[in-house]
Every structure is written in structure tokens, then in C-alpha cells.
């Protein structure tokens, strides 16, 4: 995956396997032989500094299935440009062959079939193998391993241990620095405890104390690598108090703070930094805009939007790296730095195929130990699915449909609103649905399912607001994840129109009648950012529904019509 040529070589070999009428019992074994550890790690080193980057792991410590989005819309000037291409268009852009390992890892094309061939990706024990291998090959004095955040949240065990399981395992990787987003939802006190336990710098130049407007965390750290002074600046998710409950971190304020980024770049350069790296959780389009406005940043390691790109994107002299999510990939960027400038680079997005990469024994033991107290509950089967269950999509995933159906029935609601968060491992068809699967989709620290009434006018306002967060043409105003999911409600969304004009044709599905602006409807939802919300945790509601249904089948969702894309 270092070059298009390598992608095609690997893809062509695997394509020959899967192109026939059937894989047969040895199909997966043969495919594994085509993508061994040596091939995945093969890299022609360059220069004097190596950056390793992971992001958006969401507390997934073991290998998993994670389907990339079938749709990744860009708006305004970013319409149809990377990373806003997907599926067949993505494959064409990078010369990826159908049926290849790259097609499986990077797109949603034939995900079900290829999952049977190539298996799971990720796992901290596989990541540890790669990180140790690169440090050994390159020399630890040339390597920086950096974590882009959204690391401690998103699983049953992380919720139960308040992130301790992830920190206990991740500190074995000895990250040089990290930043954050969902980490903050453990609350101010717990975040500071976990940072201390991790023992690595937590960098966030854009987080201030509200009372004194002083920095809460270090803005950057200077490292000496390969004879080069490297400044790593940290940028936490700027809209954390909007996307998540601000009452969980009441003393802290956030923001893009472009002027602070500029000032810290200048300060770091003034202290002799020859290479400036921004470890960012802004999201790709925000970082692209920031790169065009703030000079002096050599590399932006971007995250939050879960994009996985096998090539870098350049904005002027700034290199943007997107390393995917859920532990599926680790990025390697080698840089030749001379005289305070980057004179060359070489990049590889390394997919962590769990059947091809040897698990690191130390990390494997640590992960097993962290999960052992919960092993029986994690594996407990609640029901089965006949459909592929996934979360990541601009408008609706099949597991989102399950969540919405559960809330409609179990909370006796007419309409459901469910957050369009991007995290959550996928479940293959004809598989059990376990407690762990349900929590992988729902494990947050504010899980209460509310039941209330809203007027049609208020529902429209909510949909318009979320659509603007997702599809505002100015990236600096994109403050959310994907579009809010809905149950019992149909509507049309025109992503090309301005706020107040995107949502139309709102329909109550059970009656087929138009939503009336002044009429009140019974609405259920979860992940409210308001304090004091009462209701059962969402995972209990979903588990009750799945157990009652026994077998889950999800029909195609046609309730939301998208235009203007």
C-alpha cells in the first residue's frame, strides 16, 4: 500500500483467487499467503525521521470487522475530492483491484464476501508487532509514535473501567504523544488521572481554563529524532462541548483557535524546531483549511473523520496523513529533513490484517488480562443476525436501524432520533449478536434513553441543525459526525442548500401523513448532551429488543432521500 504499483500487485494476486465461482475451503488460506507480515511491513526507508500514526481506535483492543462507508459526501469546494470518494470511485482513484486486500480494507465493496477471505483487522497486539518492528528497523532514535485520540472510549470494557483497560495496554506501546476528543467524556478528573497513568504527553493547544483563559494542557513538545528537532503540536477536537456534554468538563473551553496554532508554530520554530507536526483531531476538511491558512506546518496527522487514505494529500507544503479508525491501520511516514525543510518523504498506510501479522506476546497478554473479568458477559449471545450490521454511513447504517427499531418498540415512541456517530464494529451476516457487539455500538458515558414530546417544528429545527453541522460548506462550521439517524420518520435532505432549507417532506412513517409543525409527537432518543436526562441505558433497550426478536433482519432503509449531492 506504499504505492499504487504495490496495491495493484497485491490486489492482482488476490483478485485471481476470488474472481472464480467459489473460494472453496482453502480460499482464505491462499489469500493469507498473499499478504504476509513481511509484505505488509516492506518499506524502503528514507531520510532521518519516521512518524507512526494511529487514530480513532475507540477502545477496540482485539481484531474486528469494520466496514468503511459506502458514501462519504463532500460539500462546497470539497465535493468529490479526497477523502470524499468511496466504493468504486475510491478504487478507481487509487488503482485498487476488485477482490483485493486493499479493496476489502479500504472500501465497502463486497465487504461480506471479502470478510470471509481476509478476516479481521486490527488488534493492539498486531499494532505492537508493527510498532516494535519499525523501531527496530529504523532505530528508536528516529521514530515518533503518535496517537490522534478517540482512543479510550467505545467498548464494554472501556466503559466499565472508565478507560483504564485501554491506558494499561496502550502504555506498553510507549506513545510519544496523544491528543483527544471522546476521552473528555469521562470527565475532567478522570481524564487527568488517565493521562497520569499513561505517562505520555497529552497535547492540546486549543483547550483553556474558562476562568483564567490559561492552557489546560501543553501546546507542544520538542523531540530530538535523527538529529532533527521535531515539534509536535496537539489539537483536541475543537467542538467537544457542542458534540458532547459540556457539563462533563465545565471548567474547560475548546475551539479551533487558529491564531493559537499560528502562534505556537512560530514559537516552536523560534526554539529551533526544524520539523513541525500537528497531531490533530480536527477532522480532515478542517485540517485542510487550516493548512491553507497557517504557514510553517510540515505535517498534519489528521483524525476524527475516520478517513483511511493510501496516499497523503498535500496543501501547499503541508502533508496531510489520514490513518483510518478502529485500529485497522497504522501510518508510516518517512521524512528527509535538512535545513529546517522537508526535502522528501515516503508514505505507507499499513493494514493490520490479523491473520497475517504475528501478535506481540506482551500486548496479547495485557489485552487478555484487561478483558478477563468481563469475558463471559462479552461473549454472551443475545440473538443472531441475518443481515450485515454496520454503523458507518453518511445517513444510515443497519445497526442504526436496529437501534431505532428498538427504541420505537421498547419505548413506545412514534419517532426516534439516534446520533450519527462513526464508531462501532461491524457484525457479519449469519453471526451471533453478543453483548460486546451491542456495546461496541453504544458504549458511552451518557447512555440514557429519553422519552419526550416534540412538535413537528422542533423536529425540523433539529434535523436542520444536524445537517448543517455535517454539510456546511465551510469546514470550520462542521461540528458533528454523520447525519442524525431517525426511526418512524421519513424526510428529504438537500445537502447543497443552506441551513433552514435542507430538510423537506417530513413524514410520519406509520401513518404516511406529513409531519405537522404545531402537532406534538412522542419522541425517543439517546446520547442527549443535557444534564440530568433520565431513562434506561441504550444498550439495555437494544439488548431487550434483540433478545425478543431472536433473529435480526434489516430491510433497506428508504426513509431518507438525499438530493443535491
Whole-number pLDDT of residue 230? 98
Whole-number pLDDT of residue 35? 83
Answer whether residue 13 shows pLDDT above 90.
Answer: no
- How would residue 564 be classed by pLDDT, with cut points 50, 70 and 90? confident
DSSP state letters, 432-488: EEEHHHHHHHH--S--BEEEEEEEHHHHHHHHHHHHHHHH-SSGGG--SSSPPEEES
Q: If we measure between CA atoms, which residue out of 390, 391, 388, 412 comes closest to residue 483?
A: 391
Give the tens place of pLDDT for each residue, 151-187: 999 999 999 999 999 999 999 999 999 999 999 999 9
Answer whether residue 337 shows pLDDT above 80.
Answer: yes
Pairing relation of β-strands 503-508 and 489-494?
antiparallel
Pull the grid cell for residue 526: 439517546
Compute the average pLDDT of residues 431-447.
Answer: 98
For the chain, the farthest-separated pair of C-alpha atoms sits apart, in whole angstroms, at 70
Question: SS3 sequence, 298-329?
Answer: CEEEECCCCCECCCCEEECCEEEEEECCCCCE
In which element (H, E) is residue 18 found?
Answer: helix 4-18
Show the CA angle centred on residue 81, arms to residues 79 and 85, nearest 5°.
Answer: 90
Whole-number pLDDT of residue 76? 86
- How would residue 519 be classed by pLDDT, with cut points 50, 70 and 90? very high
Answer whether residue 502 shows pLDDT above 90.
Answer: yes
Contacts of 532 (CB under 8 A, 6+ apart): none
Give the tens place of pLDDT for each residue, 283-300: 999 999 999 999 999 999
Query: For residue 383, which phi and psi values (nearest 5 degrees)?
Result: -170, -165
> Where do the structural domains in the chain lie, given as residue ranges?
1-34+67-118, 35-64+120-370, 380-563
Pairing relation of β-strands 503-508 and 513-514?
antiparallel
Half-sphere exposure of 255 (CA within 13 A, CB side): 12
Query: For residue 209, which phi and psi values (nearest 5 degrees)?
Result: -75, 130
Compute the average pLDDT of residues 401-408.
Answer: 98
- How would residue 2 be classed by pLDDT, with cut points 50, 70 and 90? very low
Distance CA(179)–CA(281), nearest Å, equals 7
Contacts of 364 (CB under 8 A, 6+ apart): 125
CATH of 35-64+120-370, one of 3.60.21.10, 3.90.25.10, 2.60.120.650, 3.40.50.300: 3.60.21.10
Compute the average pLDDT of residues 134-145.
Answer: 97
Whole-number pLDDT of residue 32? 52
Contacts of 556 (CB under 8 A, 6+ apart): none
Answer whether residue 19 shows pLDDT above 70.
Answer: no
Whole-number pLDDT of residue 478? 86
Answer whether residue 12 shows pLDDT above 70.
Answer: no
Q: How many residues does the chain have?
A: 565
The sheet carrying 513-514 orders its strands as 513-514, 503-508, 489-494, 560-563
SS3 assignment, position 176: coil
pTM: 0.94
Q: If we measure between CA atoms, which residue out of 418, 490, 472 comes closest to residue 449?
A: 418
Pairing relation of β-strands 208-209 and 252-253?
antiparallel
Determine contact, residues 53/321, Cβ cutoff 8 Å. yes
Percent of all residues in the chain with a pLDDT value above 70, rounded to a whole number:
94
- How would residue 479 be classed by pLDDT, with cut points 50, 70 and 90? confident
SS3 assignment, position 124: helix
Pull the grid cell for residue 542: 437494544
Return the DSSP state at 354: T
Contacts of 486 (CB under 8 A, 6+ apart): 404, 415, 416, 417, 418, 463, 559, 560
Give exposure, 217-229, as e/b (b: 16+ Cβ within 10 Å): bebbbebebbebb
Whole-number pLDDT of residue 219? 98
Whole-number pLDDT of residue 31? 54
- How would residue 545 be classed by pLDDT, with cut points 50, 70 and 90? very high
Number of other CB atoms surrounding residue 373 within 10 Å: 13
Give the tens place of pLDDT for each residue, 49-68: 999 999 999 999 999 999 99
Mean pLDDT (the chain) is 93
Same CATH topology for 35-64+120-370 and 380-563: the answer is no
> If you compute the radius of gyration of the chain from its CA atoms, what whole number of angstroms results?
23
- Find the DSSP H helices in 66-223: 87-94, 101-106, 111-118, 124-138, 156-161, 164-170, 188-198
Determine contact, residues 265/297, Cβ cutoff 8 Å. yes
CATH 3.30.470.10 at 380-563, yes or no: no
Amino acid at each position: 500500500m506504499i504505492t499504487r504499483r504495490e496495491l495493484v500487485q497485491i490486489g492482482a494476486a488476490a483478485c485471481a483467487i476470488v474472481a472464480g465461482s467459489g473460494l472453496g475451503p482453502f480460499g482464505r488460506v491462499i489469500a493469507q499467503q498473499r499478504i504476509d507480515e513481511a509484505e505488509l511491513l516492506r518499506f524502503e526507508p528514507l531520510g532521518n525521521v519516521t512518524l507512526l500514526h494511529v487514530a480513532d481506535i475507540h477502545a477496540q483492543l482485539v481484531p474486528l470487522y469494520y466496514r468503511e462507508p459506502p458514501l462519504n459526501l463532500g460539500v462546497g469546494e470539497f465535493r468529490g475530492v479526497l477523502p470524499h470518494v468511496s466504493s468504486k470511485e475510491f478504487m478507481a482513484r487509487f488503482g485498487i483491484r476488485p477482490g483485493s486486500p486493499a479493496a476489502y480494507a479500504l472500501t465497502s465493496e463486497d465487504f461480506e464476501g471479502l470478510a470471509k477471505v481476509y478476516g479481521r483487522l486490527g488488534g493492539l497486539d498486531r499494532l505492537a508487532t508493527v510498532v516494535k518492528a519499525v523501531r527496530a528497523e529504523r532505530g528508536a532514535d528516529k521514530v515518533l509514535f503518535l496517537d490522534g485520540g478517540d482512543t479510550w472510549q467505545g467498548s464494554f470494557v472501556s466503559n466499565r473501567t472508565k478507560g483504564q483497560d485501554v491506558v494499561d495496554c496502550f502504555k506498553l506501546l510507549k506513545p510519544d504523544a496523544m491528543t483527544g476528543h471522546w476521552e473528555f467524556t469521562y470527565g475532567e478528573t478522570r481524564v487527568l488521572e488517565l493521562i497520569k497513568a499513561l505517562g505520555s504527553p497529552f497535547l492540546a493547544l486549543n483547550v483553556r481554563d474558562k476562568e483564567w483563559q490559561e492552557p489546560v494542557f501543553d501546546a507542544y513538545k520538542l523531540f530530538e529524532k535523527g538529529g532533527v528537532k521535531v515539534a509536535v503540536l496537539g489539537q483536541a477536537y475543537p467542538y467537544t462541548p457542542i458534540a458532547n456534554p459540556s457539563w462533563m468538563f465545565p471548567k474547560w473551553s475548546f475551539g479551533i483557535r487558529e491564531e493559537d496554532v499560528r502562534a505556537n508554530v512560530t514559537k516552536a520554530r523560534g526554539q529551533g524546531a526544524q520539523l513541525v507536526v500537528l497531531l490533530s483531531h480536527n477532522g480532515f476538511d478542517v485540517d485542510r483549511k487550516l493548512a491553507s491558512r497557517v504557514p510553517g506546518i510540515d505535517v498534519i496527522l489528521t483524525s476524527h473523520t475516520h478517513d483511511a487514505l493510501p496516499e497523503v494529500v498535500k496543501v501547499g507544503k503541508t502533508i496531510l496523513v489520514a490513518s483510518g479508525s478502529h485500529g485497522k491501520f497504522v501510518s508510516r511516514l518517512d521524512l528527509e529533513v535538512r535545513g529546517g525543510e522537508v526535502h522528501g518523504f515516503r508514505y505507507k498506510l499499513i493494514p493490520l490484517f490479523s491473520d497475517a501479522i504475528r501478535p506481540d506476546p506482551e500486548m496479547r497478554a495485557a489485552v487478555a488480562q484487561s478483558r478477563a473479568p468481563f469475558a463471559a458477559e462479552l461473549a454472551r449471545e443475545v440473538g443472531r443476525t441475518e443481515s450485515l450490521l454496520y454503523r458507518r454511513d453518511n445517513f444510515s447504517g443497519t445497526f442504526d436501524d436496529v437501534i431505532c427499531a428498538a427504541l420505537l418498540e421498547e419505548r413506545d415512541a412514534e419517532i426516534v432520533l439516534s446520533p450519527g456517530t462513526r464508531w462501532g464494529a461491524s457484525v457479519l451476516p449469519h453471526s451471533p449478536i453478543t453483548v460486546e457487539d451491542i456495546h461496541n455500538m453504544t458504549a458511552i458515558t451518557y447512555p440514557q434513553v429519553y422519552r419526550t414530546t416534540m412538535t413537528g417544528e422542533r423536529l425540523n429545527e433539529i434535523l436542520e441543525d444536524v445537517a448543517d453541522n455535517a454539510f456546511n460548506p465551510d469546514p470550520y462550521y462542521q461540528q458533528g459526525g454523520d447525519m442524525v439517524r431517525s426511526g418512524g420518520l421519513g424526510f428529504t435532505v438537500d445537502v447543497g442548500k443552506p441551513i433552514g432549507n435542507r430538510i423537506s417532506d417530513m413524514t410520519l412513517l406509520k401513518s404516511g401523513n406529513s409531519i405537522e409543525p404545531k402537532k406534538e409527537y412522542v419522541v425517543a432518543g439517546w446520547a442527549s448532551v443535557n444534564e440530568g436526562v433520565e431513562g434506561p441505558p441504550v444498550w439495555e433497550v437494544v439488548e431487550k429488543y434483540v433478545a425478543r426478536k431472536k433473529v435480526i433482519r434489516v430491510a433497506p432503509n428508504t426513509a431518507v432521500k438525499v438530493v443535491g449531492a
